[in-house]
A and B are shown apart, each in its own frame.
Chain A
C-alpha cells in the first residue's frame, strides 16, 4: 500500500477506514498486497471524505435503530374478550409481550371460571343450584361463592339493605335481559329499534319495547316478600349456602363484575404485573402507572349520551383504585313515556326513582360495584351522604345533569 499518497491527519484516518473496509469484506486480499487502497487513493479527496462520512452515518443510524440499545423498555399491551356477558379489556405494562399475554390469558381464564359459577341465567351455575334449593336444603359450593356472598352480605349491612343480592325474584320479574321468552325478532330494514346493534344485546342500551310489560303491583308485592339478605345462611365449615325460604333467589349481578376485576388483578399481580388496568364493562380497577409515569385516566360516560356513543361527561386520574358506575341508562325500557331501568330498589320492588348515574371509587372492585348500586338506589342526597360517611369518593350525575360529589 502506497501510504505516501495520503498526506496529513485526515488522510491518515481515511487510510485506516479504507483498510478496515477492505479487511472486513476481503480479508485475505488485504493481507496480500492489494490494489483496493490504491483505487481508494486515486479517488478525489472529496469522494474519500464523502465515503467516510457515509460509512459513519450508516453505522450510527444502524446502531440507533437497533433494539440492542433499549431492550427493557416498558410498553402497554391490551387484550379484550367477551366474558361475563360483556366486553372485558385488560391493559398491562410489561417489558415482554409473552409475559403480558400469559398474565392476561390466565386472568381471562379465571374470569370465565367465575362466570360459570355465578351466572344467574345458566342452569349449571352454583347460583342456580343455590336458587333451586331455596327453602329445601343447604348447597355445597366453592370457596369463591362463599367469599362473594359474604362480601355481598357485608355491603348489605353497610348500606342497611340498599344493596341486596336476594333481589333475584324481582330481577326475573322485570326481565331486563330479555331472557324470556326468546331473543328478539329482527325486523328487516328501517330504523326499528329491533335492528339496533345494542337491542336485546346484554350490557348496554334500551329501547321502546312493545313486548316488555310492567309487572302488576301484586306480582311485585309477592316478589318483594322474598327479598331479605338476612335470610341467607352461610356455613363456613361445610362450605354451604342456604336460602331460608322457598322461592328466594340470589342474583350476583350487582357485585360480580367488580369482584371479577379484583380477582383478575390478583392474577395479574401474581404473574409479576404491577401496573395494569382491568375493565369489565364499566367496572374498572387500576394499579400503578403507565410507562410514561402518568396515571390511568378514566372517563365517566355522559348519562344522557346517545346510545353507542362514547361521550364523556368528565374524566379523572386514578391510581390503585376501583371505580364502578350504576345508572338508569345501561339497561332500560321505555313504556308509556316512562323509563324503567334495571336498578331495582329492594325496598319498593320498582326501579329506583333516581335519574342519571353514580360512579363510586373505593380500593376494591366488589365494593365499588355494590356501593354504586346502593348509592343509586338511595338517591343523590342520601346516597352520597352514606358514601361520605363510609369514607369513599364518588360523583352522582342526575338526569338533568346536576352533579353531587
Chain B
C-alpha cells in the first residue's frame, strides 16, 4: 500500500503551520502598547489617563453612559448602552484598542501621553 503522506507533505504542513504561528506572533507584536490610554467620545478627546492609576471613567455618548475601568494596567468597558455589547466582550486589554461604535466611544492604548505642558 502506498504511503498517503510523504515526507514532503509533512514538511509542507509543518512549515505552513509554523509560518502562520510566526505571522500571528509578529502581528501581535505590531499592536502598539503604552503606558497611557486615550479616550475619545464622538471624535472629541475626553482625556489621556496613565495606566498605572486605577480609575473609572464615565463617558457620555449619544446612546448614553459608557463606563470604562482602568485597573491593574488594563482597560475594559464595564457597561455600555450599545445593543451588542461587543466592547464589553473584549474584556480587559493591555494594548490595542476598544471601540464602542454605537455610542461613539474610542479607547486607544497609546505610547507616551503626548502632554504638551504640566501644571502643578
Contact = CB atoms under 8 A, between A and B. Distances in A.
Contacts of A299: 113, 115, 117-119
Interface stretch (A66-74, A190-198, A263-271, A279-287): A279-287
Contacts of A323: 119
B113 A316 contact: no
B53 interface: yes
B40 to A, nearest CB: 10
Nearest to A91: B116
B45 A296 contact: no
A312 B116 CA distance: 12
A276 to B, nearest CB: 11
Contact of A325 (B49, B53, B119): B119
A359 interface: yes
A297 B120 contact: no
A296 B120 CA distance: 16
Contacts of A277: 116-117
B82 to A, nearest CB: 25
Contacts of B117: 89, 91, 277, 279, 284, 296, 298-299
B99 interface: no
Given A294-B45, A297-B114, A299-B113, A312 B119 contact: no
B115 A324 contact: no
B50 interface: yes
Contacts of A313: 50, 53, 120
A300 interface: yes
Category for how many chain A residues contact B? 20 to 34
B113 A301 contact: no
A327 B45 contact: no
B5 to A, nearest CB: 45
Contact of A357 (B50, B115, B118, B120): B120
Contacts of A300: 118-120
A296 B116 contact: yes
Nearest to A356: B120
Contacts of B120: 282, 300-303, 313, 325, 327, 330, 357, 359
Interface in B10-37: none
B116 A314 contact: no
Interface in A302-325: 302-303, 310-317, 323-325
Nearest to B49: A314
Contacts of B45: 294-295, 297, 317
Interface string A182-226: 000000000000000000000000000000000000000000000
B47 interface: yes
A380 B38 CA distance: 27
Contacts of A314: 47, 49-50
A235 to B, nearest CB: 36
B48 interface: yes
B38 to A, nearest CB: 10
B13 to A, nearest CB: 41
Contacts of B49: 314-315
Contact of B119 (A284, A294, A311): A284
Nearest to A327: B120
Given A282-B120, A327-B120, A357-B120, A312 B115 contact: yes
Given A299-B119, A359-B119, A312 B113 contact: yes
Interface string B75-109: 00000000000000000000000000000000000
Given A295-B45, A314-B47, A315-B113, A301 B53 contact: no
A359 B45 CA distance: 19
Contact of B118 (A303, A310, A324, A330): A310
A282 B116 CA distance: 12
B70 to A, nearest CB: 11
28 contacts: A91-B116, A91-B117, A277-B116, A277-B117, A279-B117, A282-B118, A284-B117, A284-B119, A290-B116, A294-B45, A298-B116, A298-B118, A298-B119, A299-B113, A299-B117, A300-B119, A301-B118, A301-B120, A303-B120, A312-B113, A312-B118, A313-B53, A314-B47, A315-B49, A315-B113, A317-B45, A330-B120, A357-B120
Q: 4 nearest interchain CB pairs?
A: A301-B120, A299-B115, A325-B120, A282-B119
Given A91-B116, A299-B115, A315-B49, 12 more contacts: A277-B117, A282-B118, A298-B115, A300-B119, A302-B120, A310-B118, A312-B118, A315-B115, A324-B119, A325-B120, A357-B120, A359-B119
Interface of A: 89, 91, 277, 279, 282-284, 290, 294-303, 310-317, 323-325, 327, 330, 357, 359
